[in-house]
Structure 1
Amino acid sequence: MKKLLAYFKFNKTEQNGFFIILMIIVLFVTIYSLLKRSAEDPIPNQAKVFEQSFNDSLEISGSANKQEMNISYSTTSSKNENKALVSRSPVLEESKLFYFDPNNLPHADWHKLGLSDKQITVLKNYESKGGRFRKKTDLMKIYSINDRLYKRLEPYIQIKTSPDSEITKQQNRTSLLYDKFERNKAELIDINTCDTTALKSLKGIGSVLSKRILKYKDVLGGFYRIEQLKEVYGVTAETYDLIKDYIVVSSLDGIKKININKVDAISLAKHPYLSPKDAKLIVNYRDQHGSYVNIEDLTKIGTLSDLAIAKIAPYLIFENDSR
């Protein structure tokens, strides 16, 4: 124990040094604590100031809100009173409702129907720009006429037939008569004797198609049925439907006939209804079995279809045939 205490015994010089070090430590601790406090204090103080200012602002805004609420309440109540007056006014005006035509209705009559000057001004501006009410719902296009007002007026709206519509009807009747006249003219067109000008008067037939029709007529030797126009390239089913009532084959006298007993295979093959193979078969059979007497002799060939024979028949002539 004595040896342990011996370690804590200081001489004079050591004691002085110890006290100096102790004083320095105490001084540093004091300064540190002061600095720390001075560094921490502004935050709470600022927080308290901010909190106080925030509370003050809440109190101010609260009082302002209360004033605004009072004002808005008073304004709302006044508006409600006005609305009540407005809503009551149409009830008074309903007794003045009458049947009317909104077109060129006098200002005073609109007033009697319960419209304000502003609403009437909008209506008159619409009319001054050429606007016209042709049906009841046209009145809803006016922005000053709301749904409620329209529903109140709608049962009393009676729009008279305008003179313009009568003119339009007359124009339509004139147009129909003109079209009928044009159709009657078109009905006289004979596709075997007409020219391109006559064909172009038909709906759907232009310059190119009219020339193509005449060229096909020359290759055929003439049309014997109007349905043959469907075989012309460019004459669609729709085009044919447009013109079929205005074309006619008035006579078959102009159709060019082929003497089946004298024609050669090359010339016969030029006809659209016969292929080179068919033409060669017809000529070969004739050379082997002699001249054809009538159209039924073509059925003896066996390779020609009945449809091909029926189509070519109007263009053939036989030596013993009276045609």
Structure 2
Amino acid sequence: MEKLTSFFRFTSRERLAILLLCLLLVLFWTLPLFFPEKPPKISMAPSNASQPNESRSNSYAYGDALPASNAPVPGIATPNHNRYSNEVPTRVAHYFPFDPNTISPKQWQELGVRDKTILTIQHYLQKGGRFRKPEDLRKIWGMKPAEADLLIPYVQFPVPIAEGKKEEPVWKAAPLQDSSKLKPHKNWNLTPIDINLADTEAWMKFPGIGEVLAARIVKFRDKMGGFKSVEQVGKTYGIKDSLFQLMKPFLTLNQGGEKKD
């Protein structure tokens, strides 16, 4: 019994060695927690890497934007893509009811549409194309499905568009009459109008204001929820400052008579 007891007795050096051994075991046991295993690298098959650009482009339907030469292959993670991407950041969108056949490029920008897509829409309308239903936005080259889904609920057509009828968009309407050739406002036989209550017919009574521009003033007013000052009328797209100065004496603002929706 005494021999067995002496077997479990250790000197100070032996106890120190056992303590160091236990510390090393704990260290090796917890080491993987501080250095996680690296994920395996994904290698592409040579046949996919050497595939000609022509065969790749054939897999994209007409109307879809082709990927750039340095664009990542779908399904392959590219950590540096976001850092070196050439894609233009999406602008902040402010949505409002609109007619895609008549709004100006600036209004497309307010809706968050990219400049390249706006240019495509302009070419489409200039060649006689027409939007006949909200879903036609999906047919525009470069219009992403997510963008179209956000815009479609706000599309509004004033009247049914007759098949084959061509209508000039507002932003490409005929130029206004030169306001310098208009008669002085003192010779105009007009009655002052309330800018928040006047309809298109009232605006068309001003020389130089046609049906298109009158409708644009009303849309601009409705978009802002009513004019807060007479000067805001002059900010309507297409109204020259010289024309606005002639109109200004006939424009009134009744603070208590703003048009309600």
Mark yes or no: TM-score above 0.5. no
Indicate the structure whose relative CO is greater, using CA pairs within 8 Å and at least 6 residues apart: 2
* Higher-helix-fraction structure: 1
TM-score by length of structure 1 reads 0.24
TM-score under structure 2 length normalisation? 0.30
